Amino acid sequence: TQLLEQSPQFLSIQEGENLTVYCNSSSVFSSLQWYRQEPGEGPVLLVTVVTGGEVKKLKRLTFQFGDARKDSSLHITAAQPGDTGLYLCAGILRSNFGNEKLTFGTGTRLTIIP
């Protein structure tokens, strides 16, 4: 069973601060995704990284995929209260049917204090 460990598990910071969330695994994934989930809702895709070493930016969010495609990080600059939520990384492996199976990380619950 592939395991994706996220750290920190919980993070509570003041508005305007920067933060980094890490996603680590001993397994190699073909690609990796980051999601944000609000309470009582399904997860919403933020980004997909495919190439080792790839960096993608989405406004104040910067995502990086490790060179060995085993780890990833999410950096948020000048955090806003709207960034509050559960952040999940998900590693992608191909299933027997050729469709991608997602293995979700343990999650990071982020709270931005106004």
Partner 1 sequence: GAVVSQHPSWVICKSGTSVKIECRSLDFQATTMFWYRQFPKQSLMLMATSNEGSKATYEQGVEKDKFLINHASLTLSTLTVTSAHPEDSSFYICSASYSRLAGGLNEQYFGPGTRLTVT
Residues that bind partner 1 (CB under 8 A): 1, 31, 40-45, 48, 50, 88, 92, 95-97, 99-107, 109
Residue 26 Cβ, how far from partner 1 at the closest point, in Å?
Answer: 17
| Strand, coil or helix: 113 | strand
- Tell me the CB-side half-sphere exposure of residue 54, using CA atoms within 13 A: 15
Residue 20 Cβ, how far from partner 1 at the closest point, in Å?
Answer: 19
Tell me whether residue 66 or residue 107 sits nearer to partner 1 (CB atom).
107
Residue 93 Cβ, how far from partner 1 at the closest point, in Å?
Answer: 11
User: What would the 3-class secondary structure string for 47-79 be?
Assistant: EEECCCCCEEEECCEEEEECCCCCEEEEEECCC
| Strand, coil or helix: 92 | strand
Tell me whether residue 79 or residue 89 sits nearer to partner 1 (CB atom).
89
